[in-house]
Amino acid sequence: MMQLERTAKQKDYSEVTMETRTYAQRFHEKLGYSPVNDEIPTTMNPIPHIVMRKELREFPIP
């Protein structure tokens, strides 16, 4: 995750958004990610997912 964020910052991205399994939500929250939505219904995969986001800028632009 650190390498992903480092690369995103080098490319001047302002945020990272990802889809993750709901059981990993707490792990990603500890890394600074916040949920964007409720569970995503999936038809091909029985494991529920959620979209999470992290702001990469130290001082977010309002």
Distance from C-alpha of 47 to C-alpha of 60, rounded to nearest angstrom: 33
H-run or E-run covering 6: helix 2-10
pLDDT at res. 61: 55
Distance from C-alpha of 56 to C-alpha of 32, rounded to nearest angstrom: 10
pLDDT at res. 47: 84
Extents of the domains making up the chain? 2-7+15-55
Per-residue pLDDT of the chain (62 residues; tens, 9 = 90+): 889 999 999 998 999 999 999 999 999 999 999 999 888 777 777 888 999 999 997 655 55
pLDDT at res. 58: 67
pLDDT at res. 62: 55
Tell me if 46 sits within 8 A of 15, measured CB to CB. no
pLDDT at res. 37: 86
